[in-house]
Structure 1
Amino acid sequence: MVQKVNKKKSGIRIFAALLLMAIIAAFAYESIITPGNHQIFEKEYDDKTSLNSSLKIEPDISASISFDKLRSPNVILVRLKDQTALMQKNSEEKIYPASLTKMMTAIVAIENLPDLKEKIKLTNSTFQGLYEADASMAGLKPGEQVKAIDMLYGALLPSGAECCIGLADQIAGSEQNFVKMMNQMAAELGMKNTHFENATGLQNENHYTTVKDLAILLSYALKNDTFRQIFTSSRHFTPPTNKHPGGITFYSTMFEELNNQSIIGGEILGGKTGYTDEAGLCLASLAKVGKQEYILISAGAKGDHYSKQYNITDALTVYNSIGE
């Protein structure tokens, strides 16, 4: 009889232990998936992968801006805070990005440069084919040694093609290898309709994107403090170099074309222009209207460097519509 009682007590103890273990396991599982602890596990995933899920730009049909007033056939306006597209015009149509390409070049370079103060030497091969292609240049010379950070400013402000090639060679050994990195980032960001063939934006039929994809790119890049600082600068002074003893000044092509024109209830904070015969006049810009930040990507406006800059006038029209 005593033996049976002992067996019964032993069974109860085992059952109680198993029950306790089950309760502890359930509590641990619940604590893992609660919002407060979810962030711990998010870190295991690549930043771009988690970002991609937040960049699903959806239209807000409550916003109304007349397309008739715009010269650009491809436009997207995005409220940066919640990634809401307030207007879209042929936003998923294939376009040629021209020098808007350099936004990708810059962010890939920033994320892969171990030291932004490191000096990069431009060689004769850096400039090969650029003058013949009438590429926009920052004014650097063969043999010049320039800090990486200054070359980033040279790529985004005056749209210097030699800066893009110099950065690409330094980071990946060649422009071709660097372009692979650009396409990899595009894929990671969810830029599904984008393919790059070069780091400069020179015309190539296989070098294409959409304004929606460029909005995804710019939204991501602006989260990087270095990129944002460069993108929102109107000018940049470099220290002396072996070819420019007095340094060199880079001016933003967008701010030059903007020519101090203002918008209602806010200001245009920064931007990058682009142009080729095939791409037309393009612009990627950042503005603050009221308390909100917006990005606007436009492409394909007819004109050239000598005509009225319809990419700029379109930006003023759209941003002013928000402020009205």
Structure 2
Amino acid sequence: MKCINKRLCPAIAAAVATVVISGCGNNQNLINAYNLDSDSPVAGISASAGEEYSPLFAEDLCIVAGDIPGAGDIDMTQAEAAALFDIDSRETMFSKNAHEKLYPASITKILTALTALKRGNLEDVITVTENALITESGAQLCGFRPGDQLTLEQALYALLIYSGNDAGIAIAEHISGSVEEFAKAMNEEAVALGATNSNFVNPHGLHDDNHYTTAYDLYLIFQEVVKYDKFVEIINTPAYTMSYTLSDGTSKEVTWNITNHYLKGTAATPEGVTVIGGKTGTTQKAGACLILFSKNAQGTPFISVVLKSDDRTTLYSQMTDLLEDINK
């Protein structure tokens, strides 16, 4: 069978491959049929009889079928899921529960950024609405008020460095007119990348039972968004100072400090490893979460992710275990 919708073809094909293949995606024996469960965003898509998939649909992807122990002493007993991917060789170096559906918390914002970068312009001026006045207890907020104006580029810095949930709302409404329409756009982007075990209902990751993803799907999304130089520049910025316009026409200057402990200098990076950046995420139900883009001493790029760790201290210890593996 061949996908009628060419944009969804990689998504369906990747979903098939995850069932049977572990390791590099460049495999000539890939399955040429699919069988998606009823929860999949692309379930029910039909194709004409007699058509076939291209055998190269996953040639640039790491594919994971089951758990992979890794080369080093990696202890993930206090995390629900984790994975380590070599981007260049397309090798999955470690995997635990990579396809388990979990809450991503603010790691959601990597998909928010991807959707905004693809569908907006950095120079766009955003006007904040009342919907950005999030009242949920514990929500990380930049403090934007209705009528405030800032550029999309500034909003992305606030979103990814400070993890401002109100910045996520402002971006979503600017790009799509509403959070609901933006969530549809997020899911479209996810499915197009093969992230078929995910469903996103908001741009910030505050808890919703129907907002979930997997470690593997996050790898697929992250691998795509790090292709954008602006995204990499933002996540590699320890602090960012910006001036935006308040609703009364005056300006306000603020500085956002990054939440990533490696870039803050409060977590030690293994020798020979360079952490480019990533995204943190924490809610009560999601636990402590982190995804990173890093390079080893030879400059080889890697993506690592830990989901639902017990606490932030444990999270960074577990991530360091993964990072130590990339120089072995």
What TM-score do the two structures reach when normalised by structure 1?
0.77
Alignment pair present for 1:117 and 2:152: no
2:102 is matched with 95
CA distance in 2, matches of 1:322, 1:63: 10
Contact kept, 8 Å, 1:97 with 1:208, in 2: the verdict is: yes
What TM-score do the two structures reach when normalised by structure 2?
0.76
How far residue 124 of structure 1 moved from its aligned partner, in angstroms, is 2.1
SS of structure 2 residue aligned to 1:226: helix
Greater helix fraction, Structure 1 or Structure 2: 1
SS of structure 2 residue aligned to 1:238: strand
Which moved further from structure 2: 313-322 or 281-290? Answer: 313-322
Give the alignment's Cα RMSD to 1 decimal: 2.5
2:268 is matched with 261
Task: Count matched residues.
Answer: 273
How far residue 176 of structure 1 moved from its aligned partner, in angstroms, is 0.2
How far residue 257 of structure 1 moved from its aligned partner, in angstroms, is 6.0
The superposition leaves residues 236-288 of structure 1 with CA deviations (integer Å, 9 ceiling, x where unpaired) of 11135337735211111014665162212122110110011111000011111
Alignment pair present for 1:198 and 2:198: no
Contact kept, 8 Å, 1:257 with 1:309, in 2: the verdict is: no
Q: Which runs of 5+ in 2 are unaligned?
A: 1-5, 11-53
Alignment pair present for 1:138 and 2:142: yes
- Say if 1:92 and 1:55 are closer, same or farther in 2 by CA, change over 3 A: farther
The superposition leaves residues 148-172 of structure 1 with CA deviations (integer Å, 9 ceiling, x where unpaired) of 1000111111111111110111111
Contact kept, 8 Å, 2:106 with 2:206, in 1: the verdict is: yes
Contact kept, 8 Å, 1:73 with 1:301, in 2: the verdict is: yes
Alignment pair present for 1:248 and 2:254: yes
2:179 is matched with 175
Partner amino acid, structure 2, of 1:286? F
The superposition leaves residues 40-98 of structure 1 with CA deviations (integer Å, 9 ceiling, x where unpaired) of xxxxx769959963453235969423343663220010112133211101111111101
Alignment pair present for 1:239 and 2:243: yes
Percent of matched pairs sharing the same residue? 29
SS of structure 2 residue aligned to 1:299: strand
Contact kept, 8 Å, 2:172 with 2:203, in 1: the verdict is: yes
1:296 is matched with 304
- Say if 1:48 and 1:91 are closer, same or farther in 2 by CA, change over 3 A: same
Partner amino acid, structure 2, of 1:125? N
The superposition leaves residues 204-238 of structure 1 with CA deviations (integer Å, 9 ceiling, x where unpaired) of 11111100110011001101112121122222111
CA distance in 1, matches of 2:179, 2:71: 42
2:75 is matched with 68
SS of structure 2 residue aligned to 1:248: strand
2:211 is matched with 207
Contact kept, 8 Å, 1:262 with 1:268, in 2: the verdict is: yes
SS of structure 2 residue aligned to 1:287: strand
1:56 is matched with 61
CA distance in 2, matches of 1:199, 1:68: 31
CA distance in 2, matches of 1:287, 1:197: 29
CA distance in 2, matches of 1:57, 1:205: 28
Greater radius of gyration (CA) = 1
Contact kept, 8 Å, 1:264 with 1:319, in 2: the verdict is: no
CA distance in 1, matches of 2:216, 2:130: 37
- Say if 1:69 and 1:99 are closer, same or farther in 2 by CA, change over 3 A: closer
CA distance in 2, matches of 1:191, 1:82: 20
